[in-house]
Amino acid sequence: MTSHVSSPTGKQPTAGAPDGAAVEALGGGDAATGGPNKEVRKLERVIIRFAGDSGDGMQLTGDRFTSETASFGNDLSTLPNFPAEIRAPAGTLPGVSSFQLHFADHDILTPGDQPDVLVAMNPAALKANLAEVPRGAEIIVNTDEFTKRAMQKVGYAESPLQDGSLDGYRVHEVPLTTLTVEALKGFDLGRKEAGRSKNMFALGLLSWMYHRPTEATEEFLRTKFAKKPDVAEANITAFRAGWNFGETTEDFAVSYEVAPASTAFAPGTYRNISGNLALAYGLIAASQQSDLPLFLGSYPITPASDVLHELSKHKNFGVRTFQAEDEIAGIGAALGAAFGGSLAVTTTSGPGVALKSETIGLAVSLELPLLIVDIQRGGPSTGLPTKTEQADLLQAMYGRNGEAPVPIVAPSTPADCFDAALEAARIALTYRTPVFLLSDGYLANGSEPWQIPQVTELPDLKVQFAQGPNHTAEDGTASFQPYKRDPHTLARPWAVPGTPGLEHRIGGIEKQDGTGNISYDPNNHDFMVRTRQAKVDGVDVPDVEVDDPSGDAKLLVLGWGSTYGPITAAVRRLRRAGESVAQAHLRYVNPFPANLGEVLRRYDKVVVPEMNLGQLARLLRAEYLVDAQSHNQVRGLPFKAEQLANAFKEALVHG
Amino acid sequence: MADTQAPATAETGHGRPQALSLVPKAEAKQSMKEFKSDQEVRWCPGCGDYAVLAAVQGFMPQLGLARENIVFVSGIGCSSRFPYYMNTFGMHSIHGRAPAIATGLAASRRDLSVWVVTGDGDALSIGGNHLIHALRRNVNLKILLFNNRIYGLTKGQYSPTSETGKITKSTPMGSLEAPFNPVSLALGAEASFVARTVDSDRKHLTSVLQAAADHPGSALVEIYQNCNIFNDGAFEILKDAEQAEQAVIRLTHGEPIRFGPPAEDGLGAQGVVRDPATGDLRVVDVAEHGTDAVLVHDAHSASPVNAFALSRLADPQTLHRTPIGVLRDVDRPVYDDAMSEQLDAAVDRSGKGDLAALLHGNDTWTVVG
């Protein structure tokens, strides 16, 4: 469906509105009246967290609310957070799954620090999330699940609904299960089955509270349960019942309007998109723009599998997806396809990269284009499969035997994964090299509005395969030399099988410059090692842009990858408070932009926030001999804007 | 990279799918010399690899495919240097991974004839996983497994096909491990074509290469290959004329399985029969049991049971009663073809991919200025 949003007249732009600041989210705003005897208040932004058991459908509920919100025209950012277990023991703290959504009438950068509204489907969800919910926030609890046994399971000796632990919150006690079962009594469903639709009841209630459009959700349910029309209708009925409950019950006296973020968006057509979806689309776009068939060799791994799933849906684009027997075979098959002239990709997460290391080294030696997509997660080892982290940077940079440089591109937001995939493909194809695309769990599953690009404006990635001899001997004989390089890019020719006269052999043994024949000559090896490094060092990447509006900042905050949102939100806060802070964000981590050294030296102090123990900072210090200070967090969760603002403030004070 | 035909349905006169039907043929008659690269062959003098190389180079013109559409992919080990000596496209990759790399190449380029050259360590130890899965998928690869029952390139450690008790540098008191029988392993991995041959028997080797090339899908060819430095004479029992008569069971499709010194009818005095009590195969004197009881070799049998039982006749220690020839050659869907058919089916169902429509999706909103 498509909705149209136009700039409201007489309203001031809200782009400068506080982001992540403790605005009076629910108490403030313009009061207005609307609906039958119900007050409607206008808000600038809201953060909602849906939390329940991992079997309660919280991710689906969050996704639907997000879609409704996107189509309404708010800016938004999401943070799904779920356990690695498919069904952790019901009702336990480890089994809690949540979905946080921040939406606003202005541009926002993060899923928000603290929820204004918590929907807690059971005692475990309340307990696991309450600490992050500030007093004054609204809490909707499903009282049906607050049985003595369920409360004891998570260590509540007394009911938190009665013992005063929710004092200061605005609590709505709603028997969600009972109401859902009641609403579905016309269906031939048992209590347990009917109760499963309680997430849709909750979604309906929240949709009423925030005036969300509902048609798309009903349409979604009809499509999702097309083969079980009864189930579809039951869910739709529960969804509508939730809406009606909000409208009629006195418990919910107020509903809220968050106006479309019309001024936050440039004119254009938008959709909501997650990082993994954007990345998959970017790969398909790169295939189309390079006129090369896409080949994905992959082994399922969280949080990268969705890229495999998505690409597997698009075989009509000539996309070949190969679910290999292991991580090594995934990249091996991709490398084989690259030798054959495909745009070859392997997708994985940190543990998979470890297994692929030797093949990445081979790709460095063969000098074939290959994209290695690493959706980083918490490590080491199995670590935190469903949580985010940025701790694979040094693995991507150095995790191979020998001198094996690989360019690294890191997207900064979910939607940026699309452009970053195209960029990674450009570098791989231009320089005939493996390229790392370093996304992470936060970008992969988080989502935001995306201005859909015009296909005609996508970059041209066409490549020329070698067609014939490229070398003439002194006696005039023409021959093909697989390692004779383009003098500008240092790329070698891409000579695919099937081209007459270009028969040649390549391999992981050191090759003689030019001919590619096996060579153990010391000088040749020295030359080839330096040449491979020079090729990667010479990859053309744009200069890093510095945002320093006042021009007199002494502090530079430099990040890379998915920390863009929280860093930017924190910097905005400080600037609103009158501080001068410069900000720069790296999308290209290897090679660094040519102006980076100069940028770093321009500032008295450089702070580098990372979701690792200081990997980029280490690279910067080694490369530029600057005293870059780390600010680190490895909690499996993105930074909060407030936390970063405090850290930067500290740096300013002690600068 | 024409990739539109569907060879799985293209039938030959023999009523079976035609292998390599998408691979362009050579325009002119080829010679063995054309398949020799300009690189100096660097195996040890006397290595069995020379014989295999010569047989393959000699066989290629017989195959008659455009040289540029032939690719040899290898792993690591002595035999894996093979691609450097073939004047075709080639990749000398990393240890054990050749089947995986070749899978990506073959699955994305059905116009190529892709050969994998590997050894017993490369294919059965470090790369065991890739081998069994390539066979299971039935990717269009011809896998030449050079089995010398030793690690040669690392100078003489036991391999996964070395006999139990083998004294090597890493097993001074003898290997504790039972060896793999590569043919049994391949059959267990659902291989659609499994054969065994010997480096020194060029005629037999060539005939097996031809059968493998003709086979649509994965073909595993185990080649017993002598390492004259670290495991010399490992296959002598199969090569020495006197011993070989008793030790080698030559398999020919449609022929009774007989070996040993000739009986009155000119065929071997010993035959393979089914034991009615156990259902297993065993070796008997034909004179005692009669010729009718002797099993007739059926390489095309849908069931792999007899092929597996034949593979088990060999003594893993001495190689006594080793079957040589094509043990199994059956048709089943080829991975590369099936993958292409899915792509075609997706286009038939949804039309050729439209990038703008994909990016647009179904759930959008428009911001006007």
In chain B, where are the structural domains located? 7-252+299-350, 256-296
Chain A residue nearest residue B1, CA to CA: A498
Query: Which residues of B are less than 8 Å from A453 in CB distance?
Result: 359
Query: Which residues of A are less than 8 Å from B39 in CB distance?
Result: 505, 517-518
Give the single-character DSSP code of A15. Answer: T
For A462-500, letters b (16+ CB in 10 Å) and e give ebeebeeebeeeeeeeeebbbbbbeeeebbbbbbbbbbe
Q: Which residue has the higher pLDDT, A27 or A189?
A: A189
B257 contact A CB<8A:
no
pLDDT bucket at A246, cuts 50 / 70 / 90: very high
Distance from CA of A73 to the nearest CA of B (A): 7
Radius of gyration of chain B (CA): 23
Question: In 3D, which of B121, B21, B15, B32 has the Cα closest to residue B340?
Answer: B21
pLDDT exceeds 60 at position A27: no
Q: What is the 3-state secondary structure (H, E, C) of A186-237?
A: CCCCCHHHHHCCHHHHHHHHHHHHCCCCCHHHHHHHHHHCCCCHHHHHHHHH
Cα–Cα distance for residue pair B328/B307, rounded to 1 Å: 6
Per residue in B32-85, pLDDT tens?
999 999 999 999 999 999 999 999 999 999 999 999 999 999 999 999 999 999
Task: Answer whether B363 sits within 8 Å of A362, measured CB to CB.
Answer: no
Cα–Cα distance for residue pair B2/B22, rounded to 1 Å: 8
Of B68, B101, B359, the CB nearest to A332: B101
- What mean pLDDT comes out for the span A606-614? 98
Distance from CA of A279 to the nearest CA of B (A): 11
Chain A residue nearest residue B369, CA to CA: A267
Token pair 């299971």: residue: B136
Cα–Cα distance for residue pair A32/A477, rounded to 1 Å: 86
Prediction pTM value: 0.92
Task: Answer whether A333 sits within 8 Å of B84, measured CB to CB.
Answer: no
pLDDT at A544: 98
Per residue in A291-302, pLDDT tens?
999 999 999 999
Residues 516-555 of A with CB under 8 A from B: 517-518
- The three-state secondary structure class of A45 is strand
pLDDT at B362: 85
Distance from CA of A545 to the nearest CA of B (A): 27
pLDDT at A161: 95
Distance from CA of B52 to the nearest CA of A (A): 19
Of B68, B105, B109, the CB nearest to A500: B68
pLDDT exceeds 90 at position B14: no
Percent of chain A with pLDDT over 70: 94
Element at B245 (helix H, strand E): helix B241-247
Query: Which residues of A are less than 8 Å from B342 in CB distance?
Result: 315
pLDDT exceeds 90 at position B351: yes
- What mean pLDDT comes out for the span A435-459? 97
Element at B367 (helix H, strand E): strand B364-367
Give the single-character DSSP code of B13. Answer: T
Query: Which residues of B are less than 8 Å from A366 in CB distance?
Result: 91
Measure Cα distances from B240 to A46, A372, B200, B318 in Å.
86, 52, 11, 14
Distance from CA of B45 to the nearest CA of A (A): 20
Cα–Cα distance for residue pair A573/A586, rounded to 1 Å: 21
Per residue in A63-117, pLDDT tens?
999 999 998 989 999 999 988 888 788 999 999 999 999 999 999 999 999 999 9
Per residue in A592-607, pLDDT tens?
999 999 999 999 999 9
Task: Answer whether B363 sits within 8 Å of A500, measured CB to CB.
Answer: no
Distance from CA of A64 to the nearest CA of B (A): 12
- What mean pLDDT comes out for the span B107-118? 98
- The structural architecture, per CATH, of the domain A546-653 is 3-Layer(aba) Sandwich (3.40)
A359 contact B CB<8A:
yes
Q: Which runs of E-coded beta strand occur in A105-200?
A: 117-120, 138-142, 170-174
Question: In 3D, which of A505, A503, A517, A475 has the Cα closest to residue B30?
Answer: A503
pLDDT exceeds 70 at position B10: no
pLDDT bucket at B106, cuts 50 / 70 / 90: very high
* Residue B330: both structure tokens together: 């059956």
Q: In what order do the strands lie in the sheet with B70-74?
A: A505-507, B89-92, B70-74, B113-119, B141-147, B219-224, B193-198, B322-329, B248-250
pLDDT bucket at A344, cuts 50 / 70 / 90: very high
- A270-457 carries CATH number 3.40.50.970: yes
Per-chain mean pLDDT for chain A:
93
A317 contact B CB<8A:
yes
pLDDT at B93: 98
A272 contact B CB<8A:
yes
* Residue B313: both structure tokens together: 């006749």
Give the single-character DSSP code of B49. Answer: H
Packed helices A215-224 and A58-72: angle between N→C axes, nearest 10 degrees = 140
- Say if A270-457 and A546-653 have the same CATH topology: yes
Query: Which residues of A are less than 8 Å from B349 in CB distance?
Result: 316
Task: Answer whether B355 sits within 8 Å of A317, measured CB to CB.
Answer: yes
For A151-187, letters b (16+ CB in 10 Å) and e give bebbebeeebbeeeebeebebbebbbbebbbebbeeb
Homologous superfamily in CATH for domain A31-264: Pyruvate-ferredoxin oxidoreductase, PFOR, domain III (3.40.920.10)
- B7-252+299-350 carries CATH number 3.40.50.970: yes
A346 contact B CB<8A:
no
Radius of gyration of chain A (CA): 27
B91 contact A CB<8A:
yes
Structural domain spans, chain A: 31-264, 270-457, 464-540, 546-653
Count of H-run helices and E-run strands, chain B: 12, 12
Test mutation, A67, A219, A505, A506, chain B, max B CBs within 10 A: A505
B79 contact A CB<8A:
no
* Other beta carbons within 10 Å of A504: 24
pLDDT exceeds 60 at position B318: yes
pLDDT exceeds 80 at position B8: no
